[in-house]
A and B are shown apart, each in its own frame.
Chain A
Amino acid sequence: MKHILIFGLTLILFSANSCKEHDHGPKGSLSITFKAVYENDPLVVFTDYLTPDADKLQFHVFNFFISDLEIVKENDEVIRLKDVEFIDFNGNTDLNKASAGIKIELNDVAIGNYKAIRFGIGIEPGKNAKEPGDFPSDPYLGHPGNYWTAWNSYIFSRLEGRIDTLANAAGGDVSYLYHTGVDGMYQSRSFTKTFEISSNSNSEIVFNINAKDIFYKSGAEINISAANVSHSGAVGTPAYNLARQTIINIADAISVQ
């Protein structure tokens, strides 16, 4: 009887240890970097960029939430990396900072071979049904500045700046502001990317966001001079449609290197 008890205890301990290894298998590091560019140049805030019409375009504020950041293994297993991140290019105040981009460091990623990475632009509906006071310790979800009470929604993305439509002439400046939010604007995107996470190396994935494409991609242009402001509004209104087009264009402007 005594031997059976010892054997049983040993078995339980062994099993517990095996489960632990199964649940918390070998891990590796992954860094994910988001870089804002204007065509091939790193995007620096308050800097003139030439539009296809030779107008001077500046970006002053450019940020957005991403939700449900996940990577997909070759065997279709999905690994959740982050529930929410805030990608903020407002700190791109010089070329060095803009070139470095916004880096997300992850040190506890399951090793293996992967085939895709995916996330949503904005806040997924479950979390968007809550308010900043529900996330007091989260620096981004818990910040009332990222919430727009009028919509009962987080602000999914902000894009602000100025365009000078009359080069070398006074009075041509138009300030623009496009803020997006509400559930109907959430944009899910998946990117094909083969990469390996191993226990002794740091893998890196770099996303570029071509800010020029947000306004000037063929077939999805936003005419700043014609409609320079939108913070959504009621569903179906021109303001709503404009804001929605903005966040769609932001999502479509993202490409993986």
Chain B
Amino acid sequence: MNRPTRFTLFLFAAVGVIIACDPKDDILGPLSPTVSDGLDSIEYNPQAYQFPPINGLPTMQIPASNPVTVQGVKLGRYLFYEKILSIDSSISCGSCHRQDKAFTDGVPKSIGVDGTIGTRNSMSLINIGYSWRPNNAHNFMWDGKFRDLEDQVLAPVENPLEMKNNWEEVERRLRNHEHYPALFRKAFGINSKAEITKELAAKAMSQFMRTLNSADSKYDSVEWRAFNYFSEEQQRGYELFLGDVNGAAVTKDAECAHCHSFSRNFATFARNNYSNNGLDSAQSFNDFIDKGLGGVTAVPTDNGRFKEVTLRNIGLTAPYMHDGRFTTLDEVLDHYISGGHPSPNIANELASAPTLRTLSASEKSDIIAFLNTLTDTSYFTKEEWTDPFLLLDPWAE
């Protein structure tokens, strides 16, 4: 064999070995070289998604750039549970956001590809769309990193502590997939596979997440249905939570409703601002190890501030706080009753609370009894929200 022939054979062999060893083929899901690049023949007729009315939740504000459609929600649901978003196809968004835990994961800090431990506790996605305020630059995540859900959902894919992938690769996988090109066509009217982008994927996932709304707890029954009442313990807890029911002065106030505010017709139990709830001591603004909002805004007085999250389903979302440091609600209440650790910007609601530190063990128990009335299990088996890949035929219409 002359040298050029030997070289050509070597090249073929090398390519063959590379192809044979490429692990991606096994993990990319069904590929479809048979689906042509053009998608025009597939019907594009999106229907507006009708949000079911829910007592206690108002009309959701939605960015005009991403109207919610039935087809977009459907695609978003697949993508939410799609493991090919991660580098080795081992995890999906649904891995850290489980339906039976109010879309949290039950561990202090989320676990990424290869068992890598993240830096923050998984946040509940129930009613997540209500966290968006158009005039607010910091709506999502513990540190307020993202204004829009469409930006937030892009982040885990490329986070080295989460999916460790990159969007270029994910786009390639989606374009080569047997089913996704058609789903993107139906949702967004694209004409070719090449038009599948991370931005469209983000829109679809955001649409799905905006449908994860529920308010069907004991609290909601008491508020909205006749002849439903709190137990005496729950009622005492509610009054301590609120402080002064119907303007009547009370002797004790746990001050909870400042940060976990609600009204009857907007009962998310979250102010969705950012505050320092005294988790760590700090002599100065620069002493916070995890700067929270300050790490995003670079404003020193924002250091140590984290999102005031919803208390809906709080009984399902242990462990608690941005770093999952508290295992139980007992521990959470003990922290607040202690007054928290001193720092220059500890929330005044906590630092000035006149009676919080005097709460007895039974009053603490009353508050926890009320908090557990915010548990809603009605969506645990809701079919539209479940992982479609657990079905016998995930892609059946």
Contact = CB atoms under 8 A, between A and B. Distances in A.
A148 B352 contact: no
Given A136-B58, A139-B133, A150-B257, A61 B246 contact: no
A46 B246 CA distance: 33
Interface stretch (A33-41, A113-121, A127-135, A244-252): A127-135
Contact of B271 (A61, A144, A149): A144
Contact of B348 (A136, A151, A161, A234): A161
B299 interface: yes
A124 B272 CA distance: 25
Contacts of B247: 150-152, 182, 232-235
B11 interface: no
B273 interface: yes
B361 interface: no
A143 interface: yes
Interface in A168-188: 174-177, 182
A93 B301 contact: yes
The main secondary structure of chain B at its interface with chain A is loop
A112 interface: no
A212 interface: no
A52 interface: no
Nearest to B245: A150
Contacts of B267: 144
Contact of B263 (A46, A60, A132, A228): A132
Contacts, number: 111
Contacts of A45: 301
A201 interface: no
Nearest to A58: B344
Given A60-B345, A161-B348, A233-B249, A93 B266 contact: no
B243 interface: yes
A137 interface: yes
B315 to A, nearest CB: 21
A234 B134 contact: no
A177 B275 CA distance: 15
Contacts of A149: 242, 257, 261-264
Interface centre among A133, A134, A174, A237, by most chain B C-beta atoms within 10 angstroms, is: A133
A160 interface: yes
Nearest to B263: A131
A142 B261 CA distance: 12
Nearest to A181: B247
A139 B134 contact: yes
Interface centre among B268, B344, B348, by most chain A C-beta atoms within 10 angstroms, is: B348
Interface in A19-50: 45-46
Contact of B261 (A139, A144, A176, A228): A144
A49 to B, nearest CB: 15
Interface in B227-258: 242-249, 257
Given A132-B58, A150-B247, A145 B261 contact: yes
Interface centre among A61, A143, A182, by most chain B C-beta atoms within 10 angstroms, is: A143
A176 B134 CA distance: 31
Which size class do A's interface residues fall under?
A: 35 or more
Contacts of A237: 249
Given A233-B249, A239-B249, A131 B244 contact: no
Nearest to A146: B261
A134 B265 CA distance: 8
A235 B345 CA distance: 32
A131 B348 contact: no
B64 to A, nearest CB: 12
B349 interface: yes
B344 A46 contact: yes
Contacts of A143: 133
Given A46-B345, A132-B265, A144-B268, 13 more contacts: A46-B344, A139-B136, A142-B58, A144-B267, A147-B262, A148-B257, A150-B246, A150-B257, A160-B352, A176-B348, A177-B349, A228-B352, A239-B249
Interface of B: 57-61, 133-136, 242-249, 257, 261-268, 270-273, 299-301, 344-346, 348-349, 351-354
Interface of A: 45-46, 60-61, 93, 131-134, 136-137, 139, 142-145, 147-152, 160-162, 174-177, 182, 228-229, 231-235, 237, 239
29 contacts: A46-B301, A46-B344, A61-B348, A93-B300, A131-B266, A132-B58, A132-B265, A132-B266, A133-B263, A142-B58, A142-B61, A143-B133, A144-B262, A144-B270, A147-B261, A147-B262, A149-B257, A149-B262, A150-B245, A151-B244, A161-B348, A175-B352, A177-B348, A177-B352, A229-B353, A231-B243, A232-B244, A234-B244, A237-B249
Would you list the 4 A-B pairs with minimal beta carbon distance, nearest first? A133-B265, A145-B271, A133-B58, A175-B351
